[in-house]
Amino acid sequence: MTSTDDLLARHKAVLPSWMPLYYAEPLEIVSGSGRHVTCSDGRTYLDFFGGVLTTMVGYDIPEITEAVERQLRTGVAHTSTLYLIRAQVELAEKIARLSGIPDARVFFTNSGTEANEAALLMATNHRRSNQILAVRNSYHGRSYAAMGITGHRGWSSSSLNPLQVSWLHSGDRLRGLLSRLGSDEQVDAAVDDLREVLATQTAGDVAALIAEPVQGVGGFVAGPDGLFGALKKVLDETGILLISDEVQTGWGRTGEHFWGYQAHGVVPDLLTFAKGVGNGFALAGVVGRADVVNNVPAISFSTFGGNPISTAAGNAVVDYVLDNDLQGNAARVGAILRDDLQAQIGDNPIVGEIRGRGLMLAVEFVQPGTTVPDVPATVRVFEACRAGGLLVGKGGLYNNVIRMGPALTLTEEEAREALNILVNAIRETSAA
Ligand code: PMP
């Protein structure tokens, strides 16, 4: 038995049965450098998933390691929010400024789930209502409330929802009510849908609409640009808040914009962030309108939220993203990847759609000539990528989507290397 086999057996014996592992032969990542990881099978892989879009600037980045080491050397890893934390205040100032929300306040948490939970608490208190609008095919986390607003059966098993949730249609272009429409018609139909949902399924005093600008777990599905701007006009008629879940779309990942919401000509009332901002350290939070954020009736405390280590990392990550124009790099390298993918496999019969923007790109697999999801083909492509030396993600409502979210420092050469592996994997699978 190899040491990885042994670890897998122990994992299965002690961790919950519902925790999935990628690959028929699961991988243990033992070290990383730049966009590459070395695994316990002795191989080095080009990492195009970054622990679900979380290793945002790459592995072993000296500026980040040094910032964290400097804090560790003070001997203080933790103080709690009962004390002033310099790195926390500095990072909050940066995020408030970058958020685009006037007079913003920032509350730090340890995970995206907790950030969404806090945003829901703020919105429901501000509006004195527990009614929430959420989007089908969404993913927002694994607490009661976050699962309650997750429109994805595989991730949302709770029947004990603390919120009253009404569901809007997603921007899926292959399936669903809005799929057969052009962009303008899709916006008009979504606005009609929102008005109808408000009139038929709510008592009118809804707290908030929460949405991902690009649905991450849902397979990088996005509605047309301008969609949330059009919906916000309806929300504004009665003061319903907009919460943008930017856990996957923030920090320049989508290339054209720093936040996903900026594609929609709208500024949200609250925005949640997580994943990439810590480049692996547990760092997340909510940024939003002061009147909404401040309006939480109970005094709130967090043991680890905004701790000195993760906010030291966060400051170094945000500076790195801005100083090196990683948003610009995501736009440039992402466009090469997307255009080349489209040119090389756009008309392959098992490819239903190539979508996404910046360095958030997906390929959806279908049975030839249909929109019927092809999960076996997806698994074959996924495993063939690994065999070729490329780690990608899987996802989508039907688990038939390959997701790519490499570090924003990805080079053109690395993009072309990944492209070759992925294109070969798709051609081999399609020919089989
Ligand atoms: N929101 C979105 C859009 C996410 O993709 C995720 C994680 N996949 C979460 C929230 C939850 O974040 P976490 O896993 O840090 O709790």
CATH code assigned at 345: 3.90.1150.10
C-alpha of residue 431 to centroid of ligand 1, in Å: 36
Specify the residue for token string 């509006």: 127
Whether residue 100 is predicted with pLDDT greater than 70 in this model: the reply is yes
Whether residue 102 is predicted with pLDDT greater than 90 in this model: the reply is yes
Asked whether 212 lines ligand 1 (CB < 6 A), one says yes
13 shares a domain with 118: no
Asked whether 88 lines ligand 1 (CB < 6 A), one says no
Domain, as residue range, for 278: 65-323
Determine the average pLDDT of the residues in 310-333.
98
279 shares a domain with 147: yes
Asked whether 141 lines ligand 1 (CB < 6 A), one says yes
From residue 411, give the alpha-carbon distance in Å to each of 34, 57, 276, 329, 419: 10, 12, 18, 8, 12
Give the atom of ligand 1 at the shortest distance from the alpha carbon of 114. 16
Closest protein CA for atom 12 of ligand 1: 112
Asked whether 111 lines ligand 1 (CB < 6 A), one says yes
C-alpha of residue 139 to centroid of ligand 1, in Å: 7
Span 368-389, pLDDT tens digits:
999 999 999 999 999 999 999 9
Comparing 184-188, 320-324, 373-377, which segment has the lowest mean pLDDT?
184-188
**Residue where a domain stops, chosen among 259, 289, 323:** 323
**Structure ipTM:** 0.99
How many structural domains is the chain composed of? 2
Asked whether 139 lines ligand 1 (CB < 6 A), one says yes
338 CB-near residues (< 8 Å, 6+ apart): 354, 356, 357, 361
Whether residue 110 is predicted with pLDDT greater than 70 in this model: the reply is yes
Asked whether 147 lines ligand 1 (CB < 6 A), one says no
| pLDDT for res 156 | 79
If pLDDT is split at 50, 70 and 90, which confidence band does 111 have?
very high
274 shares a domain with 128: yes
| pLDDT for res 381 | 98
Whether residue 35 is predicted with pLDDT greater than 70 in this model: the reply is yes
Total-model pTM: 0.97
**Residue where a domain stops, chosen among 299, 323, 347:** 323
Whether residue 198 is predicted with pLDDT greater than 70 in this model: the reply is yes
Candidate of 54, 221, 248 to mutate for ligand 1, largest count of ligand atoms within 8 Å of Cβ: 248
Highest mean pLDDT (candidates 149-153, 183-187, 232-236): 232-236
If pLDDT is split at 50, 70 and 90, which confidence band does 341 have?
very high
100 shares a domain with 240: yes
CA 70, 76, 80, 81 dihedral sign is negative
Q: Kind of pairing, strands 36-39 and 164-168?
A: unpaired
C-alpha of residue 52 to centroid of ligand 1, in Å: 9
Determine the average pLDDT of the residues in 14-37.
96
146 shares a domain with 108: yes
Number of helical (H) and strand (E) elements in the chain, helices listed first? 13, 15
* CB atoms inside a 10 Å sphere around CB 356: 25
Q: What is the mean pLDDT of the chain?
A: 96
179 shares a domain with 300: yes
Asked whether 248 lines ligand 1 (CB < 6 A), one says yes
165 shares a domain with 193: yes
267 shares a domain with 249: yes
**Residue where a domain stops, chosen among 260, 295, 323:** 323
Give the atom of ligand 1 at the shortest distance from the alpha carbon of 110. 15
287 shares a domain with 361: no
Asked whether 278 lines ligand 1 (CB < 6 A), one says no
Give the atom of ligand 1 at the shortest distance from the alpha carbon of 116. 10
230 shares a domain with 357: no
Span 140-177, pLDDT tens digits:
999 999 999 999 988 876 677 889 999 999 999 999 88
C-alpha of residue 248 to centroid of ligand 1, in Å: 7
Give the atom of ligand 1 at the shortest distance from the alpha carbon of 52. 8
Candidate of 108, 113, 279 to mutate for ligand 1, largest count of ligand atoms within 8 Å of Cβ: 113
| CATH code of residue 270 | 3.40.640.10
If pLDDT is split at 50, 70 and 90, which confidence band does 182 have?
confident
| pLDDT for res 77 | 92
Comparing 159-163, 261-265, 314-318, 427-431, which segment has the lowest mean pLDDT?
159-163
Candidate of 247, 249, 259, 271 to mutate for ligand 1, largest count of ligand atoms within 8 Å of Cβ: 247
Which long-range CB contacts under 8 A does 33-39 form with residues at least 24 apart?
Answer: 33/59, 33/60, 34/58, 34/59, 34/60, 34/407, 34/409, 35/59, 35/406, 35/407, 35/409, 35/410, 35/411, 35/414, 37/391
* CB atoms inside a 10 Å sphere around CB 334: 25
Contact predicate 242/232, CB 8 Å? yes
Whether residue 208 is predicted with pLDDT greater than 70 in this model: the reply is yes
Closest protein CA for atom 1 of ligand 1: 140
54 shares a domain with 72: no
C-alpha of residue 403 to centroid of ligand 1, in Å: 15
Asked whether 113 lines ligand 1 (CB < 6 A), one says yes
| pLDDT for res 157 | 65
183 shares a domain with 40: no
Closest protein CA for atom 3 of ligand 1: 247
Span 48-78, pLDDT tens digits:
999 999 999 999 999 999 999 999 999 999 9
Q: Kind of pairing, strands 131-135 and 164-168?
A: parallel
